[in-house]
Structure 1
Amino acid sequence: MRLAIEEINNSTSLLPNITLGYDIFDTCHELLYMEAAFHLVSETQASTVIAVVGPAISEMTMLTSRVFSLYLLPQINYGANDLIFAQKELFPTLLHMVPTDEYQVQAIVSLMEEFHWEWIAIVGSNNKSAQGTIQRFISVAAEKNICVSVQGIIPSDPLLSKKIINEIVRSIQLSNANVTVVFSEENGVKEFFRVVTEMNVTDIVWIASDSWSVLNDVPTVSSIQTTGTVLGLTTKLIILSQLKELIQQAIACTAQNSSRNSPWKNGTGNWSLASSPCNISSDTLKLLVDACATRTPFYTYSAVYAVAHALHSLLQCNSVSCHNSKIIQSWQVLSKLKEVNFTLRDNKIYFDNNANPSTGYDIITWNWSGNKVIFKTIGQYHSGQLTLDKTLIQWKTPNNTIPFSYCLKQCGPGQFKSDKGTYLCFCLCDDCPEGTFQNQSGSSYCFPCPDDMWSPAKSKACYPRTIQYLTPDDPNITALLIASSFGMFSVVCCMLIFAIKLHTPIVKAAGGKLCFIMLGSLLISISSMNLFFGKPNKTICLIRQPLFAISFTTCVSCILVRSFQIVCIFKMATNLPKAYNYWVKYRGPYVCVCILTLVQCLFCSLWLFHSPPTFTARNDLSKNETYVQCSEGHFIGLGMVFSYITLLCIACFVFAFLGRQLPKHYNEAKLITFSMLVFILSWVCFLMIYTTTDGKYISALQMFSVLTSVYSILCTFFIPKCYIILFQPQFNTKDHFQSVIHKYTTRNKSVK
């Protein structure tokens, strides 16, 4: 820090005509550093303190930062990296010159990914900081499918330490994990490796956190070089050569100057060399000089320069002078600190949006030369990118090959890594479920089959689905086809009988030539059943429902017109003779049938225009089959078409009721009521099933509804008349019909 202050004060361009002063406080005890913190915030009120550098310990930084944040006093730490510091809402004025443990976790996980290590152990100290980092590491590692097989805690109690570490090391050996991450302080990690060497553990890759990766005391553990390869993270090493000269100059001893006064004196805030204490041993001198080669000095140095550059911006300095003469507030410095971006000793210095530094980590390995260790830099982790020179690593394996650390079990083809393991590990194997496949080993997931393919469980490939549709081979369809064939035969027979006996009274009473329209429409209706089985296509889907609806509407319209006509003849012909004459003259029955049928054609057109039936392939009805069928479009379209037929049936009920007192051969109220009721019930049942369920036999259910509709009219209207024509010809004479009409007329007159 002193080196940076003197360089800045001697600079003519950074802060010209501005002299920086500083106070140094001891942090060896909580009372001392908290007293210092409160002293500094009191000085902040007087606008003499504008920034704080340090302390280097996480616990100290947590406490002091909470005090400084109340006064918006910026604090730059050069050593504390606890995971909690990533929560900026708790530490709004804290900035970092070294990365936090969150960044370290990301770096170690990237290292695991680089070497494809996915089955590891993790050990940490028994303190809140280490345990928080371990839990964060487990969470981040799980997202990358890296499994923690063993998690151990090194106890702080020396009496329990060796026993528990023995259990941890034994668990690591049993887990077959070849990589172990160690988050620990110096004392804990030394005790851990003493046990490791005693248990003769070898060929393990040890991942060292930055807290011990370059400590000189850890490699002194006996036989530690036999335990395996050590890879570690550490902050970037940048040597300040001028610092060595400054220390040597400050502690120079002469025989003539042996005063016990402080080597520095603090006058007006500027520190200058005075005298230095004599009797400093050569070992102490070596320790002080070696401190220049550690990683901490540069980050303290750069923290001071960051404050200077913030002041340079705040005071609007140029190469000659600084123009802003106003009193500087600490919150103003904090704002400018977050914006600094400069180069110092060929290193870019700036802070990101979370106040984290621009510096990253060096990746080091321990290379051994006899019993001497060399901390060899083999790569860097910076801005989320890992770069490595793997050739510099000395692996404890044959031919210096990279060790592997995989799951206990390698999943084979047709399997995937399960998430049922410990800590979200994927080291158990599950079979690929139906409809998925995996043709490689060691995969974490299964691929879904395409829509037109399927696969059984634990499959290595997908197979084409079998195309299924209703065929005559199905017993249900066979039965329906036999019934429809018999129905078509019956309709044709009725047409022949009615054609031969066209001029007989029974045929005329049934409607005469109108009966052939009815029978023709019934024949078309029952023939439409052939469109409901077999492999469908777009055309079939479009025409099959409208074909039945229009043809059956024609038949029901004929029954309605015939019922209306008979009621008119017997009840209204005498009262409205002119209307009856128009009805006969202009072929009223045929006109009405055409109009009623055209209305149905209009409904069908609207249905086909807005929501037409479509050809669909269903894969959800069977695991290995694709069922092709027709989807009827929106329910409203189908419902509108059949609602119209139902309305005509209700009209038939009304006229059948009005004609319930007519002569025997003209009174068919019961038969018409029964046939219309059968039609309504069959299609109401179909629509209810169609809207609430779905399945392979929906088309078969439609065929059944068509069949019952045709048979209801055929059996109640035409077959009884054919029976009279063939087996009771005495009732098919003019005399018989005249006698029946005469009885009806006589009965009505007597009633009046």
Structure 2
Amino acid sequence: MQLSDKARFPSFIRTIPSDKKQVDGIVLLLLKFNWRWIALLGTDDDYSQDGIKALNEQTREHGICVAYENTIPQGSSAVGHMLRNIVYLNVKVVVVFATGQPVTDLMRQAIASNVGDIVWVASEAWSLSQSIPKMPGISSVGTILGMAVKGMALSGFDQFIQSTRNSWNGSFQKKSSAFLGATSNQGSCNQHCPQCSEIPASAVQDFDSTFSFSVYSAVYAVAQALHRVLKCDKKICKRSEPVVPHQILQKMKEENFTLNGRTISFDKNGDPPPQYEIVFWDTTSQPVSFKTVGSYASDSGDSGTQFVVREEDIKWHASGQIPVALGSKDCIPGFKKTPYGIHTCCFNCEPCTAGTFVNQSDPYNCQPCPEDEWSDDESAFCQKRTLEYLDYDDHFSIGLLVCAGLMCTVSVAVAIVFAVHHDTPMVKSAGGKMCFFMLGCLGVSCLSISCFFGVPTTWKCILRNPVFAVLFTACLCCLSVRTFQVICVFKIAAKMPKVYEFWVKKNGQWMFVTAAVGLQIFMCGLWVGIEGPHPFNDTQAVKGQIIYDCGMGNMFAFTAVIAFVGLLSVLCFAFSYFGKDLPKDYNEAKYVTYSLLVFFFTWVAYLTAYVVYSGKYIPLINAISVLASLASILVGYFIPKCYVILFKPEYNTTAHFQTCIQNYTKTISSK
């Protein structure tokens, strides 16, 4: 790999692929079979150390864990100890990026140690070794796969080698000369080899022609470059001046020609396009044979990376199944990986909580579901939520709307009765013109009940509680004023005449109502201005649902508005209590107490439900509390008076009221 560094080796060009490309092919092979728990073994040389370093970088990028890494030691005991460590770590795939005798020692010790079902991935330096397959017991070490530079047969070259082998009986020169003479007649060069007699028989016998084409193409590339520099044609060269090396180097960098059907070219680092074969050692045959079971090629053109493995051609050792090398067992869907130790392949499986899911693209984190989706515990995906709100066609909604309509009708009916009998003592004692103001507030509040149903909008949210708060405040003010006015007539006028005179002359009742209602309107306006009621999606209340409802907005402002209504209720209750001993027709303590208790209980129930319960029926409870509060005043204050007006007219006379006053005066005087 260092030879590709043009800063150090600017004039180096080769016809054998860079080992970096071989590393790419090995990583693709590991990923093909999902082997993510491996060991890396090498030797103490640049070829191996550079390859191991590149493998570490590549495996880290692709989530492959190197469980064990070492340089093959010397000595059978040290090698045996290393193999025991590999077995102890449950490593099933061992990449051996090494050369020379250490690989032979490793495989010999693997046979002796009976390491079992291991996949050995061989680098091209020993993937086509001639000596290792001849070891006795090599079939017991497991499955051996390797990367090999794609070779190409040279016409006549194997015949030349065979002729050399067959002539190794002392008559080498004679037979080889005869062979060369025969081939020279066919147009080839006279390859006289006086040094061939010095080559030992074993070297010829173990000759490997894998790189023959690479040597041939290298010579041809130089010849092509020289041919272009000298401007030669088929017969003569036109250039006569001397040729310097850099001229040939420049031409070689630019070369792109076809030789025996293969393209010869070089990239910016002086490396050719990688072309590898994936070989499988078939140890079931004798002798062991090398079978091509795949290929790997890469270039910068349109074809890109081509990686093919024919799994059916591989005979896996022992079980016949592809070995599993994953470190920790993969998590089931819905569980995330939580690494422990230094390896990402060692992890615990932890369930994803509700509202989250684990995606295949990121198995280490539980991702939150989008706002409009949900999930159970241990989910691998999210589901769409259903949108829920209290619609008009709901049975409860229909029931409340009917009740609101009836109450509105009753309010109008009461107003008509009071209008017809407006000069009677009963109407005057109830408040006179102020009664019509109260009935108007009750009627409008009943109409606002419709805002609690259907799809929430900003205006619907504002017209719910703020409108009720203002109108109900007006009703409570009128009740308080009416009760206070009766107390003034019977208890304060005699003792504090100037106070009573001021109250009557300055129209104190309307001043109080206007001031209190104005203050409530101001607080409601402040509430809406700061952060008023508004539509919102509640995705936390109910699993699998989006509750579409109105939020209260600023809770401090909401609390202040309700507290003011509560304060007026307490004031009204206090006035009615002080007037409990007034004449019967002027004594409203019982009816006012009933109305206020209903108001208190319903709103305490609503606020409790609002805090502890979440769901689409919260607006229903709110509407019930509003309707019950309005009904308490209508039924507790106005209906009894209508009953007297319509069915007990004898009690609705001036004489009857005067009699009640006289009886009260006598009672007070006698005490």
TM more than 0.5: yes
Q: Per-residue CA shift, 1:563-589, capped at 9, x if unaligned?
A: 111111111223344443443344332
Q: Say if 1:503 and 1:116 are closer, same or farther in 2 by CA, change over 3 A.
A: same
State how far apart, in whole Å, the 2-side matches of 1:611 and 1:151 are.
64
How far residue 147 of structure 1 moved from its aligned partner, in angstroms, is: 5.5
Which residue of the partner structure matches residue 400 of structure 1?
295
Q: Once the two structures are superposed, what CA deviation does each residue of 1:256-308 show, in whole Å capped at 9, x if it has no partner?
A: xxxxxxxxxxxxxxxxxxxxxxxxxxxxxxxxxxxxxxxxxxxxxxxxxxxxx
| 2:670 aligned partner | 750
Provide the C-alpha distance between the structure 2 equivalents of 1:658 and 1:647, rounded to a whole number of angstroms: 17
The whole-number CA distance in structure 1 between the counterparts of 2:110 and 2:597 is: 90
Tell me the CA shift for residue 521 of structure 1. 1.1
| 3-state DSSP of counterpart to 1:643 | helix
Q: 2:337 aligns with which of 419, 423, 426?
A: 419
Give the corresponding residue for 1:89. none
Give the structure 1 partner of residue 536 of structure 2. 616
Task: Provide closer, same or farther for how the CA distance between residues 147 and 407 of structure 1 changes in structure 2, counting only shifts above 3 A.
Answer: farther
One-letter code aligned to 1:490: V
Q: What is the match of residue 450 of structure 2?
A: 530
Deviation at 1:668, TM superposition (A): 1.7
The residue number in structure 2 matching 1:122 is: 38
- Kept after mapping to 2: 8 A contact 1:415/1:443: no
Tell me, yes or no, if the aligned pair for 2:40 and 2:66 is still in contact at 8 Å: no
Structure 1, gaps ≥5 residues long? 1-106, 126-133, 233-377, 382-386
User: Normalised by the size of structure 1, how large is the TM-score?
Assistant: 0.52
The 8 Å contact of residues 416 and 429 in structure 1, kept in 2 or not, is answered as no
CA distance in 1 between partners of 2:509 and 2:668 (Å): 27
Counterpart of 1:122 in structure 2: which amino acid? Answer: I
**Distance in 1 separating the partners of 2:355 and 2:667:** 77
Partner of 2:622: 702
**CA deviation map 1:444-465 (0-9, x unaligned):** 8897664345689999997765
Equivalent position of 2:121 in the other structure: 206
Distance 1:748 1:111, change over 3 A: farther
Correspondence for 1:227 among 131, 144, 149: 144
Contact 1:416 1:445 in 2 (8 A): no
Please give the alpha-carbon distance, in whole angstroms, between the structure 2 residues aligned to 1:676 and 1:112: 81
Alignment-derived partner of residue 484 in structure 1: 404
Query: Tell me, what secondary structure is at the counterpart of 1:556?
Result: helix
d(CA) in 2 for partners of 1:555 and 1:622? Answer: 38
Asked if 1:568 is matched to 2:485, the reply is no
Q: What displacement does 1:223 show?
A: 5.0
Partner amino acid, structure 1, of 2:518: L
Which of 505, 508, 512 matches 1:588?
Answer: 508
- Residues 305-384 of structure 1: pairs in structure 2 closer than 5 A: none
User: How do 1:498-513 residues align onto structure 2 when only pairs under 5 Å count?
Assistant: 498-513=418-433
Aligned counterpart, 2:548: 628
CA distance in 1, matches of 2:70, 2:429: 101
Choose from 652, 659, 665 the match for 1:732. 652
1:379 Cα deviation from its structure 2 partner: 11
User: Structure 1 182/744 Cα, relative in aligned 2: closer, same or farther at 3 Å?
Assistant: farther
> What SS does structure 1 have at the residue aligned with 2:549?
strand
Superimposed CA distance per residue, residues 486-532 of structure 1 (whole angstroms, 9 cap, x where no aligned partner): 33233223222222222222221111111111111112222222111
1:409-455 CA-to-partner distances (Å, cap 9, x unmatched) read 9999x968963899654999999998788999998889766434568
What SS class does the counterpart of residue 394 from structure 1 fall into? strand
How far the C-alpha of 1:620 sits from its partner, in A, is 3.1
Structure 1 SS opposite 2:642: helix
CA distance in 2, matches of 1:388, 1:642: 83
Structure 1 residues 734-743 or 616-625, which shifts more?
616-625
| In structure 2, C-alpha distance between the alignment counterparts of 1:116 and 1:657, rounded to whole Å | 87
1:719 to 611, 635, 639: 639
- Tell me the distance in 1 between the aligned counterparts of 2:419 and 2:64: 87
Q: Write the letter of the residue equivalent to 1:228.
A: L
Equivalent position to 2:95, from 172, 181, 196: 181
Q: Distance in 1 between matches of 2:148 and 2:118?
A: 13
Matched, 1:671 2:591: yes
Cα deviation code 1:131-154 (max 9, x no counterpart)? xxx9xx999967853367999999
TM-score of the superposition, structure 2-length normalised?
0.58
Conserved 8 A contact 2:38-2:65: no
Does the aligned pair in 2 maintain the 1:122–1:152 contact within 8 Å? no
Query: Is 1:194 matched with 2:108?
Result: yes
Deviations 1:355-412 (A, max 9, x none): xxxxxxxxxxxxxxxxxxxxxxx9999xxxxx99772433224352446799969999
Distance of aligned partners of 1:499 and 1:400 in 2 relative to their CA distance in 1, 3 Å threshold: same
Q: Which whole-Å CA distance do the structure 1 matches of 2:323 and 2:126 have between them? A: 32
Contact 1:202 1:227 in 2 (8 A): no
Partner of 2:230 in structure 1?
none
Contact 2:36 2:64 (8 Å CA) reproduced = yes
Q: Which residue of 1 aligns with 2:64?
A: 146
One-letter amino acid matched to 1:651: L
Q: Does the residue aligned with 1:620 lie in a helix, a strand or coil?
A: coil
Task: Say whether the 8 Å CA contact 1:415–1:446 is kept in structure 2.
Answer: no
Q: Which residue of 2 aligns with 1:52?
A: none
CA distance in 1 between counterparts of 2:435 and 2:350 reads 69
- Equivalent residues of 1:550, 1:597 under 8 A apart: yes
* C-alpha distance in structure 2 between counterparts of 1:196 and 1:568, whole Å: 113
Aligned residue type for 2:470? I
User: Does 1:555 find its partner at 2:450?
Assistant: no
- SS of 2:441's equivalent? helix
- TM-superposed CA distance for 1:660, in Å, is 1.6
Task: Letter of the 2:457 partner, please give it.
Answer: N
User: Structure 1's 500 and 442: CA in aligned 2 closer, same or farther, altered over 3 A?
Assistant: closer
Amino acid at match of 1:643: A
Aligned partner of 1:229: which letter? G
Structure 2: how far apart are the matches of 1:409 and 1:215? Answer: 23
2:38 and 2:325 in contact (8 A); partners too: no
* Partner residue of 1:545 out of 446, 465, 483: 465
1:595 Cα shift?
Answer: 1.3
Q: Which residue identity is paired with 1:119?
A: W
Q: 1:380 to 1:416 in 2, by over 3 A?
A: farther
AA in 1 matched with 2:647:
F
Q: Is the 8 A contact 1:145 1:426 kept in 2?
A: no
Q: Helix, strand or coil: the match of 1:633?
A: coil
Decide whether aligned partners of structure 1 residues 143 and 720 sit closer, same or farther in structure 2, where only a CA change above 3 A counts: farther
The sequence identity of aligned pairs, in percent, is 32
SS of alignment partner, residue 517 of structure 2: helix
Opposite residue 598 of structure 1, the aligned amino acid is G
Cα 1:139/1:433, change in 2 over 3 Å: farther
Q: Which residue of 2 aligns with 1:238?
A: none
User: Match of 1:540, SS?
Assistant: helix
> 2:576 maps to which residue?
656
The CA deviation string for residues 713-743 of structure 1, in whole angstroms up to 9 with x for no partner, is 2222112222222232222222211111101
Change (3 A) 1:438 1:538: same
Distance in 1, matches of 2:325 and 2:476, equals 73
Q: Separation in 1 of the partners of 2:84 and 2:624?
A: 78
Which of 416, 438, 444 is 1:496 aligned to?
A: 416
Change in Cα spacing, 1:438 to 1:163, as seen in structure 2 (3 Å) is closer
Q: CA, structure 1 residues 194+564, in 2 after alignment: closer, same or farther (shift >3 Å)?
A: same
